[in-house]
Structure 1
Amino acid sequence: MLQKLMWVGIWLAFMGAPIGDLLDHHHAAPATVLGWLGLAGFVTVYLALVLRHTASPLASATVYSLLGFLAALAVTLSLTLGGAWLVLFVYVSVSCGATLPLALATWAILVSTAGMTVIGTRVTDVGDVVPGLVIPALLGGFAMTGVRHLIRTSVELREARATVAQLAANEERLRMARDLHDLLGHSLSLITLKSELAGRMLPDYPGQAARQVADIEQVSRQALVDVRAAVSGYRRATLPAELAGARTMLNAAGIRADVPSGAPDELPAAEEEVLAWVLREAATNVVRHSGARHCTVTLEERQTLDGRFLELRVHDDGKPRPGSAAPVAGNGLTGLAERLEKVSGVLETEAGRAGFTLTARVPLIPGPSEIPLVSGP
């Protein structure tokens, strides 16, 4: 609220002209008193209208009534107290841009500016009105309409993101339900059928009943294996998901993030999961410990003498972390190095005055078309 008040209140700088006019004491005492009362009422209604309407839209009748009051007060004070009060029309124009629909606001701004110009020709020199007040009135009013459009677009975008996230969560729940149904539906039905069959055989055919019980045990064990495999698949970290998560987390922390949008399709599952864990840990460290303002993530293929590698590089411009020149037990880097070793990858870190850089490389297995054919002797 305070930030919004400061942003709206910056326009009050134009009030210097009518305040100076009242402080010059060249008006009669009754006119000066009425001028102060009118100025106080105008500012109060202006702030209440703009601040209240931008936070929670007022009823149309209330908006039109308050705008009419501001316009009437601007006309009255300008005609009675002189040209210094024409600046009130700038506030009327800004109020119209902040509260009225776009099409109506455009006409209201033009009419308010035209009315100010007409009155200005009667109370002062027209050469002082056009450059000094007409341009601010037009710019202020139309700038407010642009700000309103930007705010409305931001709100709609935020709502759309929330809707997409909700739909994605619902789709994931449906997928999990389908998978669990496919995994367990047949197994549980078979277990139920064999249990009933074993129960009927048990009094007269205990040997056959024992075989049915053995089958039930085998089916149950296989169902447990399938469920564990499915859950492991749900929990596996993927590189595209971690890239999106890193971008969101860095932006939420106020760190400007340059993060690629995709990952290579040919990357094996084990190598992809390791790089995903590396990226998650690196992004978390940037947010928690770096104090950085900018973070760059790159994902590129490198050709070396040892073969092709996929290189993940995370660089931030924050202050160096103590002890981060090499992996140190307890800070998460050792665990990442161990994960990379399992897929023949390497982890490198570099700390300096320019920031901190973490680099992870995993080998890329050549496809069938890349394996050279060895001819016979």
Structure 2
Amino acid sequence: MILVWMVFLGGPLEDLWSGRLGTAATVWGSAGLAVFVAVYSGLVFRHTSSPLPSRSVHALLALLFALACALPPTVGQDWLVLFVYVAVASGAVLPVARATWGVGASVLALAVIGTGFGTRPWWGAWTAFAIPAVLGGFALMSARKTVRTMRELRRARAVVAELAANEERLRLARDLHDLLGHSLSLITLKSELAGRMLPARPEDAAAQVADIERVSRQALADVREAVSGYRRPTLAVELAGARTALETAGIAADLPGGAPSVPLGPEAEGALAWALREAVTNVVRHSGARRCTVALGAGEAATWHLTVTDDGTGPSGAGAGNGLSGLRERLALVDGTLTTSAGPDGGFTLRAAVPSLP
């Protein structure tokens, strides 16, 4: 956006190239323009990537403003365009309040010098540069504010993500402490007691060891249950993953749009989500299908059904694999059922049903 404004240097460059200026004016104009462009480019590009100290910014802007005031009266009216660059630089590097004053000062100086300090009409050629100066200055102010807002949003998003991760770690630590604190303390006490009972009371020590085994098994079961709860999938996540997997495999996907609202408990929804994952995995790996359709809906007897149909090669005839067997067992834990069959026009159909909430 800043580079676009360089096209306005066509007038000064034409003056220098045409030879209309005298030798002294050409040398002065060339040197002044070179310094102006160098200062402008260094200020704007350097400051937008890594902010300069406030004192340096104001000093460089003052130098630009001084060159813009000195060159037009001594070289020509086309050099009034330099005030456009002063306005753009003000909008790019100054805070909003100061940038407004900077743009206003540039336009005022442009008007004063453009009219020959009041000796020429106020509607002269200088007005051709006033509008770009105002528009350029305020456009850069808006762009700078937008960039600053985007940076703040990125920082806020990163902080929110970090807080969410910390909260999840704390929750996991709290749950594991609640699950294992009592069990591990009991195992430690019983281990010490069993050690004191040996070798004089081996029968009592064996009973303590049996209790240790029972408590350990219960603690392991509690941890597995907690971890499975953390890993429980949802239908919304699995539908999004299924769409991506099918599209990546070049299979046309016909899936419900948006996040589904289903009257299911977390265990039942997790079982259906596992069924969807297994079905889509089989379609991608084994079916050779060109289209896959996924449907969710209420069934009879207060149930909720998931149906996955493809137009592939159909059942292999080798019986249910380990994935379908495990899926059937997982559905049975929530009183669900799993049925598979050939599709109406070939292919394969998987239908999972779970009880819905009353």
In the superposition, relative to structure 1, how do residues 192 and 345 fare at CA in structure 2: closer, same or farther (>3 Å)?
A: same
| Equivalent runs, 1:248-263 vs 2, <5 Å | 260=258
Are residue 200 (structure 1) and residue 202 (structure 2) matched? no
Name the structure 2 match of 1:266: 264
TM-score of the aligned structures, taking structure 2 as reference length: 0.73
1:240 Cα deviation from its structure 2 partner: 5.6
Instruction: Indicate whether 1:134 and 2:110 are aligned.
Output: no
CA separation of 1:274 and 1:110: change in aligned 2, threshold 3 A: farther
8 Å CA contact 2:305, 2:354 repeated in 1:
yes
Q: Shift of the alpha carbon at 1:345?
A: 8.7
User: 2:15 aligned with 1:21, yes or no?
Assistant: yes
Within 5 Å, give how 1:284-295 maps onto structure 2.
none
Q: Secondary structure at the match of 1:203?
A: coil
C-alpha contact 2:65 2:83 (8 A) present in aligned 1: yes
Q: TM-score, normalised by structure 1?
A: 0.69
Amino acid at match of 2:161: A
Secondary structure in structure 2 of the residue aligned to 1:122 = coil
2:142 corresponds, among 123, 142, 146, to 146
How does 1:1-377 map onto structure 2 within 5 Å? 7-122=1-116, 126-129=122-125, 131-239=127-235, 260=258, 264=262, 266=264, 268-272=266-270, 274-275=272-273, 302=297, 326=312, 344=338, 365-368=355-358
1:131-169 Cα shifts (integer Å, max 9, x gaps): 521111111101111111111111111111111111111
1:94 maps to a residue whose letter is V
Q: Is the 8 A contact 2:235 2:273 kept in 1?
A: yes
Given that 2:110 and 2:126 are in contact with CA atoms closer than 8 Å, whether structure 1 keeps it comes out as: no
Could you tell me how far apart the structure 2 residues matched to 1:103 and 1:221 are? Answer: 69
Q: Give CA deviations for 1:268-291 in whole Å, capped at 9, x if unaligned.
A: 534446548968999xxxxxxxxx
Q: 1:242, 1:280 within 8 Å by CA — same for their partners in 2? A: no
Distance 1:269 1:80 in 2: 83
Q: 2:115 is paired with a residue of what secondary structure?
A: helix
8 Å CA contact 2:44, 2:93 repeated in 1: yes
**Is the 1:46–1:91 contact (alpha carbons within 8 Å) kept by the matching residues of 2?**
yes
Structure 1 vs Structure 2: percent identity of aligned residues?
50
Per-residue deviation, 1:230: 1.7
Gap change, CA 1:278 and 1:301, over 3 Å in 2: closer
Query: Structure 1: which 5+ residue stretches go unaligned?
Result: 1-6, 248-258, 283-298, 314-323, 330-334, 347-359, 369-377
Using the TM superposition, give the Cα deviation of residue 198 of structure 1 relative to its aligned residue in structure 2, in angstroms: 1.7
Give the aligned residue type for 1:64.
H
Separation (CA, whole Å) in 2 of partners of 1:55 and 1:84: 31
Q: What's the counterpart of residue 347 of structure 2?
A: none
Query: Is the alpha carbon distance of 1:130 and 1:77 closer, same or farther for their aligned partners in structure 2, counting shifts above 3 Å?
Result: closer
Residue 68 of structure 1 deviates from its aligned partner by: 0.5
> Which blocks of at least 5 consecutive residues in structure 2 are unaligned?
244-256, 281-293, 316-320, 332-336, 341-349
Give per-residue Cα distances to partners, 1:284-343, cap 9 Å, x unaligned.
Answer: xxxxxxxxxxxxxxx996568999867899xxxxxxxxxx974899xxxxx9x9698866
Backbone CA RMSD of aligned residues = 4.0
Q: Which amino acid aligns with 2:39?
A: V
Q: Aligned to 2:123, what secondary structure does the other structure show?
A: helix
Deviations 1:232-259 (A, max 9, x none): 2222223466689999xxxxxxxxxxx8
CA contact (8 A) 2:11 2:79 kept: yes
